[in-house]
Amino acid sequence: MRISEILKSREPHISFEIFPPKTDAGFESVIHAADQIAELRPSYISVTYGAGGGTSKNTVKIASHIKHNKNVTSLAHLTCVSSTKDMVHKVIDELKEQGIENVLALRGDIPQDSEFPLPNHYRYASELIEDIRSRGDFCIGAACYPEGHVETEHKADDILNLKHKVDCGVDFLTTQMFFDNSILYNFLYRIREKGITVPVVPGIMPVTSAKQIKRIGFLSGTMLPQRFLAVVDRFGDDPEAMKQAGIAYATDQIIDLFANGVNHVHVYSMNKPEVAEAIMKNLSQIVKA
Ligand code: FAD
């Protein structure tokens, strides 16, 4: 099913995310995690893609498995930053062959150790979106950043770039994680004011270990509010307590989003079926399968 159709529903919905293994050796355990998450009947499962393209074949394989073997809608991520157009076109053709109609089109992070952009290849996600649009009838999603993308100095410029990207053919947006919902509400107000009208799916990350937090701050420049830091201060040294508190914090964010008119939340479940399951259990009377 096209995600743009799923997002028309006014009922609360949850989707989850899987990332492919770095090597083929980890393939079976990722499939096992995907199967367990699929059993929870989320509205869709997204499968991430390595910026360097190294996990590309596994992204398509896993997305295809979720769709055809588990009967759950899948969303295949596709990045372009380190790929030639030929490489990207090959993946688009594979997605078509596998009947995967939903693609999250991304630039990917700029590689530190190689030339960027490759001559005559992709510089921004918007170029990839135009390319996907011209090569098939896909439902296309893209990324957005409620706190602004790290490379853009002024948030206003980031929103102008986002408007251009959406106008290139985006059907829906998924946000970077955030830990304070007021950041999302403010962002929605600003983008709607600039004429960006496509559905926006907020992305929520359940933080289940203190180690994860250091990575988040470093990678995305995400603001960590005092209320969140107090949870980590109190429970960060106790893995089981931190896991429970992190799931509760994410659940609280999700309930607040639903209460404020959001109908669909994407959970960065990080190949952890037990985390996805705990969230679904917490929402069992809110999100009806
Ligand atoms: P773009 O939309 O191209 O934006 C990148 C930067 O360029 C921004 O600062 C933007 O403001 C600026 N910009 C855009 N267009 C223009 C223009 N015309 N002129 C000037 N400046 C411009 N990474 C992965 O490697 N694999 C994944 O699977 C993956 N999944 C993700 C899923 C989500 C929901 C999110 C939020 C991020 C994901 N990422 C993933 C990370 C993403 O690839 C990086 O954040 C990357 O740095 C930016 O990608 P983008 O598609 O947002 O880029």
Give the residue extent of every domain in the chain. Answer: 3-282
Atom index in ligand 1 nearest the CA of residue 220 equals 45
Atom index in ligand 1 nearest the CA of residue 141 equals 34
**Distance separating alpha carbons of residues 276 and 269, to the nearest angstrom:** 6
In the reported structure, the alpha carbon of residue 134 is separated from the centroid of ligand 1 by a whole-number distance in angstroms of 20
**Distance separating alpha carbons of residues 62 and 48, to the nearest angstrom:** 10
pLDDT at residue 135 tops 90: yes
pLDDT at residue 243 tops 80: yes
86-116 residue pLDDT tens? 999 999 999 999 999 999 999 998 888 777 7
Nearest CA, atom 28, ligand 1:
48
In the reported structure, the alpha carbon of residue 57 is separated from the centroid of ligand 1 by a whole-number distance in angstroms of 21
In the reported structure, the alpha carbon of residue 208 is separated from the centroid of ligand 1 by a whole-number distance in angstroms of 25
Question: Residue 218's pLDDT is what?
Answer: 62
In the reported structure, the alpha carbon of residue 5 is separated from the centroid of ligand 1 by a whole-number distance in angstroms of 24
DSSP code of residue 147: T
Nearest CA, atom 37, ligand 1:
143
Single pTM value for the model? 0.97
Looking at 3.20.20.220, 3.30.450.20, 3.40.50.300, 3.40.50.2300, the CATH number of the domain 3-282 comes to 3.20.20.220
**Distance separating alpha carbons of residues 129 and 124, to the nearest angstrom:** 9
First to last CA, the chain: 16
48 lines ligand 1 (CB under 6 A): yes
- Give residue 23's pLDDT band: very low, low, confident or very high (50, 70, 90): confident
Q: Rounded mean pLDDT of the chain? A: 94
Pocket test for ligand 1, best of 74, 149, 165, 215 (most atoms within 8 A of CB): 149
Nearest CA, atom 13, ligand 1:
161
Judged on CB neighbours under 10 Å (0-12, 13-18, 19+), 192 is: exposed
* Rounded mean pLDDT, 247-264: 98
Pocket test for ligand 1, best of 17, 107, 154, 270 (most atoms within 8 A of CB): 107
Q: Which residue has the tokens 């759950």?
A: 72
Rg (CA), the chain: 18
Give the H/E segment covering residue 267. Answer: strand 264-267
pLDDT at residue 118 tops 90: no
273 lines ligand 1 (CB under 6 A): no
Nearest CA, atom 23, ligand 1:
108
Active site residues: 17
Pocket test for ligand 1, best of 106, 112, 167 (most atoms within 8 A of CB): 106
Question: Residue 68's pLDDT is what?
Answer: 98
Q: 52, 51, 48: which is closest to 21 by C-alpha?
A: 48
Nearest CA, atom 47, ligand 1:
109
In the reported structure, the alpha carbon of residue 240 is separated from the centroid of ligand 1 by a whole-number distance in angstroms of 34
165 lines ligand 1 (CB under 6 A): yes
Q: 81, 32, 20: which is closest to 56 by C-alpha?
A: 20
Question: Residue 24's pLDDT is what?
Answer: 85
**Distance separating alpha carbons of residues 229 and 69, to the nearest angstrom:** 41
